[in-house]
Amino acid sequence: MSDGLRVRGLRVVFDGFAAVDGVDLDVPPGDIRFLIGPNGAGKTTLVDAVTGLVRASGSVRFGGQELLGRPVHRIARLGVGRTFQTATVFEELTVLQNLDIAAGAGRSALTLLRRRTQVPAAVTGALETIGLTAQRDRPAGTLAHGQKQWLEIGMLLVQDVRLLLLDEPVAGMSQDERDATGELIGVVARDRTVVVIEHDMDFLRRFARTVTVLHAGRVLSEGTVAQVQADPRVQEVYLGH
């Protein structure tokens, strides 16, 4: 069973400027919450605050634990993982080795890089989920753009991440890759909580359940894609073109 994310009064201030200015957000277990909003709305900063990359005030609870005030690695150990717009995989290592390293964080590099006769079940499962079983022995650097993003998601799955925060996962992807990513996110969310920063409205219409619109560091609107699109406040600041 996964846990929901509960954010209260979240505030992040840079040099006197509140990039996130009192955000409340509830993402129930198993939900996929899309975060949208114009550039500078505070989406990335919110994700940075949840994952411990920036100092924030307020409260961020996940799995019954307060995340604020903990260092990044402690938050990660509580089952919180994120991807970045540019996939961070080990390009020279194979897909399998990338997953192995992610799965075995803490084990010695030698153990991890030694040729395995048996692949751990978690790694096999992740390979299947991200659709890269046939590419398992290929260096990650030779993968297509979309495949690298999926590998990065796989690296979180093998770490038993229960809250995934994805930053523009379909940016730069082909239509087929977008479709596959939407389906992958749906599978991943079956027993995890997922937050996705995404601008692509076509993708949102197809795959988003609930959307939270941020503007100037605050929640402007929340609801289904149709609901937020019909919200005059949203049309004014974001969709009104």
Which residue ranges make up the site for ligand ADP (CB under 6 A)? 14, 19, 37, 39-45
How is residue 94 annotated by DSSP?
Answer: B
Please state the closest distance from residue 37 (CB atom) to ligand ADP, in A. 5
Question: The sheet that has 65-66: what strands, in order across it?
Answer: 17-27, 5-14, 57-62, 65-66
Structure tokens at 154: 């796989």
- Closer to ligand ADP at the Cβ: 19 or 173? 19
Q: How far from 100 is each of 12, 21, 122, 187, 198, CA to CA, in Å? A: 35, 39, 9, 21, 29
Q: Residue 45 or 97: which CB sits closer to ligand ADP?
A: 45
On whether the CB atoms of residues 131 and 159 are closer than 8 A, the answer is: no
45 vs 98 by CB, closer to ligand ADP: 45
Q: In angstroms, what is the minimal distance from the CB of 36 to ligand ADP? A: 9
CB of 187 to ligand ADP, least distance (A): 26
Q: Minimum Å distance from CB 169 to ligand ADP? A: 14
> Shortest distance, CB of residue 180 to ligand ADP, whole angstroms?
25
Q: Which is nearer to ligand ADP, 45 or 212 (CB)?
A: 45
Task: Tell me 19's DSSP state.
Answer: E
CB of 221 within 8 A of CB of 213? yes
Q: How many CB atoms lie within 10 A of CB 239?
A: 15
* Complex with ligand ADP: residue 136 or 218, whichever CB lies closer: 218
